[in-house]
Structure 1
Amino acid sequence: MGKKDKTRSTVNIGINDDDRKQLADGLSRLLADTYSLYLKTHYFHWNVTGPHFSSLHTMFETQYTELAIAVDDIAERIRALGFVAPGSYSEFARLTTVPETEGVPDALSMVQQLVEGQEAVVRTAREFFPVTEAARDEPTADLLTQRMQVHEKTAWMLRATLG
């Protein structure tokens, strides 16, 4: 995580090396949270049962599809800053705040865990947002704003499912 890619020329985008490293580190945590939430959502999609199977199965598919696109966007931003994006389960496990699920919970517990996961991603993004402002990194700030908006809306929709 955060290692400089020695195969490329120096990055000169108007953000100093230390700030770019802080940005890449924050984005790496966001990537780990997003990927962990993707995996959990996909797992729940495969294993949901009960009277709301069809609607939850479809909802979870929509969510993990969106998350799959997001992980690519986040990883590509890390690369644009000149750093290597994390990509192993061990790195993600070390960086994430989204806990793994043991066993197969019931449908309502799945929804509650996804609410908590969506909110965890928002907190991670919000936590390092000040770094983007201090570095005047508008592209990363824009990415964080978009991610927070998606995750807050998704958490709201999931909470509405709980009643």
Structure 2
Amino acid sequence: MPIATLNTGISIEGRKAVANGLSNVLADTFCLYEKTHGFHWNVTGPMFQTLHLMFMEQYTELWNSIDVIAERIRALGEYAPFGGDAMKRLTIISDSPLHPRAMEMVNELMKGHESVCRTVRVTLNLAEEAEDHPTIDLLTERLLAHEKTAWMLRSLLEEEDVEAVQ
């Protein structure tokens, strides 16, 4: 049976470049999801309830985005990576010490979201070069989500401005 040729107006080279970039975004997102979920399970201390719920919101958002990213890779005619080895090879998100303190978790997640932002921006440039508007839209949404989450996490790490309160 002949394989149907993919012809959506994006060159083969453009599709491959974008799909490779999306594979990095997928791996970063998946690894950040795993870290966030693990922190959700293991957070302790006075901010337990706040962070436990915040991390749940964050890992849920990450989980919901994983399928969308993988399906875009498939729509471009490439296979989406899966499995621990593939994800570790493609991600820039590092593993965490087994039991960091609560604010160390917040700091790690903030840095993780900022890292994903950088991966998204690289892939966004590839999508723009390929004139791949659906991927541009997807990556713009992802960038907004990661920047907002990084900002919220960063806000937890900032000291209160005592002069502004008085």
Normalised TM-score (structure 1): 0.94
Is 2:94 the counterpart of 1:99? yes
2: CA distance, partners of 1:8 / 1:36: 33
Letter in 2 for 1:159: R
User: Residues 53, 85 of structure 1: CA spacing in aligned structure 2 closer, same or farther, 3 A cutoff?
Assistant: same
1:46 to 33, 41, 45: 41
> Partner of 1:65 in structure 2?
60
> Partner of 2:163 in structure 1?
none
Q: Shift in Å at residue 8 of structure 1? A: 5.1
> Partner of 2:6 in structure 1?
11
Unaligned runs of 5+ in 2: 159-166
Q: Shift in Å at residue 162 of structure 1? A: 1.3
Letter in 1 for 2:43: V
Is 2:156 the counterpart of 1:161? yes
Which segments of structure 1 move beyond 3 Å, counting only runs of 4 or more?
Answer: none
Q: In angstroms, what is the RMSD of aligned CA positions?
A: 1.0
> Partner of 1:126 in structure 2?
121
Deviations 1:8-43 (A, max 9, x none): 522111011111000100000000000000000000
Q: Report the number of matched residues.
A: 157
> Partner of 1:32 in structure 2?
27
2:15 to 17, 20, 25: 20
> Partner of 1:136 in structure 2?
131
Is 2:78 the counterpart of 1:83? yes
**Identity rate of aligned residues, in percent?**
53
2: CA distance, partners of 1:48 / 1:10: 50
Letter in 1 for 2:47: H
Unaligned runs of 5+ in 1: 1-6
